[in-house]
Amino acid sequence: MNSKILKVTLEVDKTIVNAMAFLPPQESVKEDRFAIFTHGYTSHKGSLLNWAARVSEENVPAIIFDQPGHFLGSYHEIEGLDVFKDVAPQFFLRAYEYLKSHYPQGGQKLVIGGHSLGALTSLMALERELFTVNELLCVCVGFGLPPAGVTHIFSTPFYKSTLNLRGQLVSENIPPEQVFPWIKEKKEELEISRQRIHFITGDDDVVVGKDGSERLVEFLEEQGNHVTIEKPKRLAHHMPELAAAHIKKFLKDSSFL
């Protein structure tokens, strides 16, 4: 990979995150299109390193950024969950603006997306209609709707036993006991229309569960979106890096790369 990686910070309303921008060689860069990704809860941007690498290998500028208040990638505080809800989707726009600072005439095509919580915040960016571009794609990895009346893995004793450790990887102002119920509530309330969305969820993803992504696909299709899904055999929830090849294939099939 010949891209130059810039280590930068992004800021929205006094909330700061760290990011890495992948800038392809100037002589071969496809500056008319950008890619922007973020990670899941208690994770970090490094989990998506090869997402950005695969895209930038095709000479497309890309950014991966840390979610606000996530300490594996950035030691930046966040005031609380309400602030997170407000600013997290806006970081996609701030990342886009950063790439525009390098390519002022670029970015007519855009793919945004993320893993798990990052998928949700990318969908929230669509919901808020933050971008005015000629082509907008959204890629959601490891994300779905649980069936009604079924105990979600977040509520099981096994998963709860991991929360003491996981909760210390993020700001105490966005603890798991607040974030998980909000995620469940928010994805059931999404209002998005006329968007192109692609889901990639492993058959072995026990967090999303059987048919979880299919339920969310149906929910979004009913709102008038063009939604597709891919179900790789091996893409466990804790291994989002394995989605890189599937993302690249989708973007090639969509004539984005």
pLDDT tens per residue, range 100-138: 999 999 999 999 999 999 999 999 999 999 999 999 999
Q: What is the pLDDT of residue 80?
A: 98
What confidence tier does 219 reach under pLDDT thresholds 50, 70, 90? Answer: very high
Q: What is the pLDDT of residue 164?
A: 78
> In terms of C-beta density within 10 A (0-12 exposed, 13-18 middle, 19 or more buried), how is residue 39 classed?
buried
Q: Under a CB-based contact definition with an 8 Å cutoff, are residues 27 and 228 in contact?
A: no
Sheet holding 4-12, edge to edge: 4-12, 15-23, 62-65, 33-38, 109-115, 135-141, 196-200, 226-230
**At residue 153, does pLDDT exceed 70?**
no
What confidence tier does 68 reach under pLDDT thresholds 50, 70, 90? Answer: very high
**Count of the separate structural domains present in the chain:** 1
The CA–CA distances, whole Å, from 99 to 10, 33, 34 equal 11, 10, 8
Q: Which domain covers residue 33, as residue numbers? A: 4-253
pLDDT tens per residue, range 1-56: 789 999 999 999 999 999 999 999 999 999 999 999 999 999 999 999 999 999 99
**At residue 149, does pLDDT exceed 70?**
no
Q: What is the pTM of this model?
A: 0.95
- What's 72's domain CATH number? 3.40.50.1820
